[in-house]
C-alpha cells in the first residue's frame, strides 16, 4: 500500500527544501507546480485546449505564464475557465504518477491543497511553517518580488495558522537541521503505521 502524504505551505515557508528532504528519506515526490509547467510547455496537454479558449496566451506553441497572468489581471472572470481546463489535466498527471510510483510514501507537493479540497485525497497532510516575519524576509531576499506583490499573494492564500490547524503534521523550517529532523520523524511515524496496518 502506498501512503499519500500531502505537502503544503504558503509562499516562502520552505516547502521546496522540505520536499527534497522527503525524497532523501526514500519518498517519491509529485510537484503540482512542475506538473503545470509540463502541461504549459510546448507539446504539453494544456496547450491545445488553452489555444482554443485563449489564443492570445500562446507563444511558440506553449502557454505563456506571463501572458496568462496579464489576461487574469485584466479579466479576473477568465480564471474559472482556465482552472476548468487545467485542474483536470493536473489531476490526470497526478493519477498517472501515483500508478507508476513504487515507493511506500508518495509526497504530493500542492501549494493550494486546502484551497482546492485536495486534502480529501490524502492519507495525511504536512504543512511547512515559519513565523510571518521570517516568511516575508525569505521572499523579499529572493529579489523577485516587491513587498506589495508578496502581501497580495499572501492575502489570497489561506492563513498559515489555519493550514497548520488542518494538517496532521507541521514542520517548522527555521533551520535546515531542525526541518530535516522533523521530516525524518514524520517518515518514521508513517512507516511504523504502514508496518502495523
Within 8 A by CB and 6+ apart from 96, the residues are none
Same domain, 40 and 117: no
Same domain, 92 and 133: no
Q: What is the pLDDT of residue 192?
A: 96
CA contacts within 13 A on the Cβ side of 109? 24
* Number of structural domains the chain divides into: 2
Identify the domain containing residue 127 by its residue range.
1-27+105-191
Stretch 98-107: mean pLDDT: 95
Which residue bears the cell 499519500? Answer: 4
Q: What is the pLDDT of residue 157?
A: 84
Same domain, 112 and 187: yes
- How many other CB atoms sit within 10 Å of the CB of residue 185? 12
Averaged pLDDT of the chain: 94
Question: Can you tell me the distance from the alpha carbon of 133 to that of 149, in angstroms, rounded to the nearest whole number?
Answer: 15
Q: What is the pLDDT of residue 83?
A: 92
pLDDT digit string, tens, across residues 141-174: 998 889 988 888 888 789 999 999 999 999 999 9
Is the pLDDT at 99 greater than 90, yes or no?
yes
Is the pLDDT at 88 greater than 90, yes or no?
yes
Same domain, 23 and 44: no
Question: Can you tell me the distance from the alpha carbon of 101 to that of 123, in angstroms, rounded to the nearest whole number?
Answer: 16
Residue 30 contacts residue 180 (beta carbons within 8 Å) = no
Same domain, 91 and 122: no
pLDDT digit string, tens, across residues 103-141: 999 999 998 899 889 999 999 999 999 999 999 999 999
Which of residues 83, 102, 121 is at a domain's end?
102
Amino acid at each position: 500500500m502506498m501512503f499519500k502524504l500531502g505537502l503544503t505551505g504558503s509562499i516562502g515557508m520552505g516547502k521546496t527544501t522540505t520536499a527534497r528532504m522527503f525524497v532523501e528519506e526514500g519518498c517519491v515526490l509529485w510537484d503540482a507546480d512542475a506538473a503545470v509547467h509540463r502541461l504549459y510547455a510546448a507539446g504539453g496537454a494544456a496547450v491545445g485546449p488553452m489555444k482554443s479558449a485563449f489564443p492570445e496566451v500562446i507563444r511558440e506553441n506553449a502557454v505563456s505564464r506571463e501572458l496568462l497572468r496579464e489576461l487574469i489581471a485584466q479579466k479576473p472572470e477568465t480564471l474559472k475557465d482556465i482552472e476548468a481546463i487545467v485542474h483536470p489535466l493536473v489531476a490526470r498527471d497526478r493519477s498517472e504518477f501515483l500508478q507508476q510510483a513504487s515507493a511506500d510514501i508518495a509526497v504530493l507537493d500542492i501549494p493550494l491543497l486546502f484551497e482546492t479540497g485536495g486534502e480529501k485525497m490524502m492519507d495525511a497532510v504536512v504543512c511547512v511553517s515559519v513565523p510571518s516575519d521570517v516568511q516575508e524576509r525569505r521572499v523579499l531576499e529572493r529579489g523577485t518580488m516587491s513587498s506589495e506583490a508578496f502581501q497580495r499573494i499572501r492575502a489570497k492564500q489561506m492563513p498559515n495558522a489555519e493550514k497548520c490547524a488542518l494538517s496532521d503534521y507541521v514542520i517548522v523550517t527555521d533551520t535546515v537541521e531542525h526541518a530535516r529532523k522533523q521530516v525524518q520523524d514524520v517518515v518514521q511515524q508513517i512507516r511504523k503505521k504502514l508496518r502495523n496496518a
